[in-house]
Chains A and B, each alone.
Chain A
Amino acid sequence: MTTTRVSTRALLTRRRLAVPLVLALGLAACGGDDDADEPAAADEPAGDAADEPAGEPADMGDTAECAADEVDGDLALYNWSEYMDPDLISAFEEQYGVTVTEDFYDSNEAMQPIIAAGGSGYDVIVPSDYMVSILIEGGDIMPLNKDAIPNYSNLLPEFESGLPYDPDGAYVAPYQWGSTGLGVNLGALGDDFPRSWGLIFDPDIRAEYGLDGKVSLLNDPRETMGAALKYLGYSLNTTDEAELQEAQDLLRDTVGALAAFDSDSYDENIGNETTLVGHGYSGNFFAQFIDSDNPDNWDYFMPEEGGTQWVDNMAVVADAPHPCTAHAFINFILDGDNGAALSNWNYYASPNEASQPMIDEAVKPFLDKATAGVDPEKIEFIRDTGDFEINFSDAFTAARG
């Protein structure tokens, strides 16, 4: 009895202690950068967040005052795993007399909260297209100072400007690009098969080519719902609930015919014939095929119904400790030779015009396959759909119920 009373009091005391601290922390969160959509919402109840013009960052943020090739300290790079040639890092360190610390993430989604929270300590990050718009809206990356990046003009015209997530190239510099499509085992399918999402979603085609239980889809709500939407002839950025429902039903009917939802080893699965058709990213398939004993046994294509094109981009974190070194690094990667070295190392396509002539003959024909033969009208970037992201995530869960 006594203990109960005592512990209740202790609980109350604890609560009194905890609440002001948490409020303080919580208020700090309101003014923070993870929701620039609603600047200081809790501090001034009168401010209505909905009035904020969509797409326009609350605070354009200051760019860094740097000259070309100026460095202001060591570089902290936060990049995808196995996406940067270590030799390029050494070359940069040598040329600029700085040390580069590299850390790695496995998805945009794992990186974004860490950057958005602020104080991450990173200088340069490599977000994909749709994530760039989310980071811009959150005020989490700073506008680039183009004076410090003379190599920006090396980019192909279509990458230098006009990208939907950063139309003027104000915030990011494209790093590499590729597509999401299908890798196929030609030995099993022959030369004459429909280059369509139907290989996965159409029961008749699956039966004809013996694909039941031999296909894999990415374990990713947007990419996988997007593939189903494309097969049905819709936009993969749809915000129409009926269309998404149709895609969900289609996926539900397909689950039984899948080997797996796999985002990590779809390339190895197709290599060891666990699967015959796999849904995945172009560069990973190319790496798997080029390194195999008979590269001709496999092919990669974007299905004729269209699919996802994506661009990964270099961006400078808004609170980067060393923004000038960050700019110098971006400029270094945009150098023609360095851009080519990158593509030759990781088998993803280069957005760099100056790099094109230096790309290996063995690699180049593969890179060209990323979007080859598909009506450009049908190729889409994944875009942030706002609240509809929840619908995508739920549909992907419900389809596997």
Chain B
Amino acid sequence: MSSSANPRGVTRFLLAGNGGLVLLFLYAPIILLVIFSFSGAKDPGVWGGFTFDWYRDLADDDRVQNAIGISVRVAIFSTIIATVLGTMAALALERFTFRGKKVFDALLYLPIIIPDVTMAVMMLLFFTRAFDLIDAMFGTRFAKGFWTVVVSHVAFNIAFVSVVVRARIAGMDSTLEQAAGDLYANRWQAFRHVTLPLIMPGVLGGALLALTLSLDDVVVTQFVSGPGSTTLPVYVFGLIRRDVTPLINAVSVVMLVASLVLVVASLAAQRASEGRRRRDLAIPGEEPS
């Protein structure tokens, strides 16, 4: 890290303070829901003595477990597909010109702009009409379910991934990649060892955003899912109509712990591979020391 990049003195103090406050703000409700997931009272916000009851209920509740399973699978599939497609789109848009680029550019903004209920209705109409059409033409009957949810999530996630990745690529100079080309690296090698590490923070950010959006979507999911493909947010949305119980807090804590494990594992994997890369190739990575 260069000296002038690293703020000093009062600036540093203020920046660190802001960082701390942001984290406090972000975690305040999380701390609260972790605490109240152990509360014996049925009302949220009322402390009713320490208990594991809600976790025990959760362990017995097939419907919630089922919903969690579907949510996680949808999130993983849609994040992977959207991250790959979105990153390719971002590279194409920032580094190349091609036919229909402007239309593509505009098309990639629309999922961010569209109201979620409008997208929900349009995907519902699209899938039912398309399936009717396929049935009439080929005699094969498709039904809405897990995969229509994944397809719809990818449709909005591509846009979010590409926006974040483009913010990373925009203005980044391409001399390193050209140098790799001059050194007779083939395109894949140049991409794998030069471009990808450079844009990785953007890709990671985009993937995190996609994962979050997928785990939180209610409206689109509700309209494109079929029997047996209710996701956790859709289930919770209905549940809250009746009661906000600490069971929902317990569900959140389980999701939180699961994702933490996932993140720690992937960070460890990333560090390991970065170490390997630095040993294998003496290419200056993104962090000059």
Task: Name A residues whose Cβ lies closer than 8 Å to a Cβ of B.
Answer: 3-4, 6-7, 9-11, 14, 24-26, 28-29, 32, 76, 78, 80-82, 86, 101-106, 110, 113-114, 117-122, 263-265, 267-268, 271-272, 284, 287, 291
Contacts of A110 in B (CB 8 A): 222
Say whether A25 contacts B133, CB under 8 Å: yes
Asked if B241 contacts A106 (CB within 8 A), the reply is yes
CB-based contact A25/B230 at 8 Å = no
Q: Assuming the A-B contacts A104-B235, A268-B43, are A25 and B130 also in contact, with contact meaning beta carbons closer than 8 angstroms in the complex?
A: yes
Interface residues of B in 107-164 (CB under 8 A from A): 121, 124-126, 128-133, 143-145
Tell me whether A28 and B235 are in contact (CB under 8 A): no
Whether B143 lies near A119 (C-beta < 8 A) is: yes
Distance between Cα atoms of A11 and B226 in the complex (Å): 34
B239 lies within 8 A of A82 (CB): yes
Q: Which stretch from B28-36, B96-104, B176-184 is at the chain A interface?
A: B96-104
* Cα distance, A164 to B230, chains bound together (Å): 33
In the complex, what distance in Å separates the CA atom of A46 from the CA atom of B130?
27
- New contact pairs (7) apart from A82-B242, A106-B241, A114-B223, CB-CB < 8 Å: A7-B99, A25-B130, A78-B227, A82-B241, A120-B227, A121-B144, A268-B43
Out of B103, B223, B241, which one reaches A10, CB within 8 Å? Answer: B103
What are 7 A-B pairs at a CB distance below 8 A?
A: A4-B102, A28-B133, A105-B238, A106-B241, A113-B121, A118-B128, A120-B227
Partner of B238, one of A3, A28, A82, A121: A82
Contact status B240-A265, CB under 8 Å? yes
List the 10 closest A-B pairs by CB distance, nearest first: A81-B238, A10-B100, A76-B227, A82-B242, A25-B129, A104-B238, A117-B128, A101-B228, A7-B102, A106-B238
Q: Does B73 sit at the interface, judged by CB under 8 A?
A: no
B128: which A residues are within 8 A, CB to CB? 32, 117-119
Contact B99 A10 (CB under 8 A): yes
Q: How far is the CB of A300 from chain B (nearest CB, A)?
A: 16
Whether A291 lies near B102 (C-beta < 8 A) is: no
Q: Which of chain B's residues have a CB closer than 8 A to the CB of A121?
A: 143-145, 226-227
Give the interface SS of chain B, mostly helix, strand, loop or mixed.
Answer: helix
- Residues of B161-196 whose CB lies within 8 A of A: none
Given A113-B223, A121-B144, answer yes or no on A24-B133 (Cβ-Cβ < 8 Å).
yes
Compute how far the CA of A367 lies from the CA of B229 in the bound complex, rounded to whole angstroms.
34
Question: Are B132 and A28 in touch, CB under 8 angstroms?
Answer: yes
| B13 adjacent to chain A (CB < 8 Å) | no
**Chain B residues proximal to chain A, CB less than 8 Å:** 42-46, 63, 97, 99-103, 121, 124-126, 128-133, 143-145, 222-223, 225-230, 234-235, 237-244
In the complex, what distance in Å separates the CA atom of A101 from the CA atom of B129?
24
Question: A106 touches which one: B46, B228, B237 (CB < 8 A)?
Answer: B237
Which of B101, B144, B235, B241 counts the most chain A CB atoms within 10 A?
B241
Whether the Cβ atoms of A6 and B100 lie closer than 8 Å is: yes
A81 to B235, CA, bound (A): 8
A80 to B241, CA, bound (A): 9
A346 to B242, CA, bound (A): 10
Query: Which residues in A have their C-beta under 8 angstroms from that of B100?
Result: 6-7, 10-11, 14
With a cutoff of 8 Å between Cβ atoms, the chain A residues found around residue B241 in the complex are: 80-82, 106, 263-264
Closest Cβ of chain A to B245, distance in Å, is 10
Q: Is the CB of B243 within 8 A of A120?
A: no
- How many angstroms between the C-alpha atoms of A81 and B129 in the bound complex? 28
Given known A3-B102, A103-B225, A105-B222, contact A114–B124 (CB-CB < 8 A) = yes
List, in ascending order, chain A residues with CB within 8 A of B132's CB: 28, 32, 118-119
Closest to A24 in B: B133
- Looking at A101, A110, A265, the one whose CB has the most chain B CB atoms below 10 A away is A110
Question: How far, in angstroms, from A272 to B42 measured CA to CA in the complex?
Answer: 11
A4 to B100, alpha carbons, bound, how many Å? 9
Given the known interface contacts A82-B243, A103-B227, A265-B240, the answer about A120 and B99 at a Cβ–Cβ threshold of 8 Å is no
Chain B residues lying within 8 Å of A11, measured Cβ to Cβ, are: 100, 103
Cα A101 to Cα B222 with chains together (Å): 16
Report the minimal beta-carbon distance from B175 to chain A, rounded to whole angstroms: 24
Q: A122, B227: Cβ atoms under 8 Å? A: yes
Query: Do B125 and A29 touch (CB < 8 A)?
Result: yes
> Smallest Cβ distance from B205 to chain A, in angstroms?
29
Query: How far is A11 from B129 in the complex, measured between Cα atoms in Å?
Result: 24
> Which A residues lie within 8 Å of B229 (CB)?
103
Q: A24-B133, A82-B242 are in contact. Are A104 and B99 (CB under 8 A)?
A: no
Nearest CB of A to B233, in Å: 11
Q: Contacts A6-B99, A25-B133, A101-B228; is A271 near B239 (CB within 8 Å)?
A: no
Q: How far is the CB of A305 from chain B (nearest CB, A)?
A: 26
Taking CB atoms, residues of chain B closer than 8 Å to A105 are: 222, 238
Contact residues in A for B227 (Cβ distance below 8 Å): 76, 78, 101, 103, 120-122
Q: A82-B238, A264-B240 are in contact. Are A117 and B143 (CB under 8 A)?
A: no
Contacts of B143 in A (CB 8 A): 119, 121
- Of all chain A residues, the one with the shortest Cβ separation from B143 is A121
Which residues in B have their C-beta under 8 angstroms from that of A7? Answer: 99-103
Residues of A within 8 A of B230 (CB): 103-104
Which chain B residue shows the least CB distance to A75? B227
User: Are B239 and A81 interface neighbours, CB within 8 A?
Assistant: yes
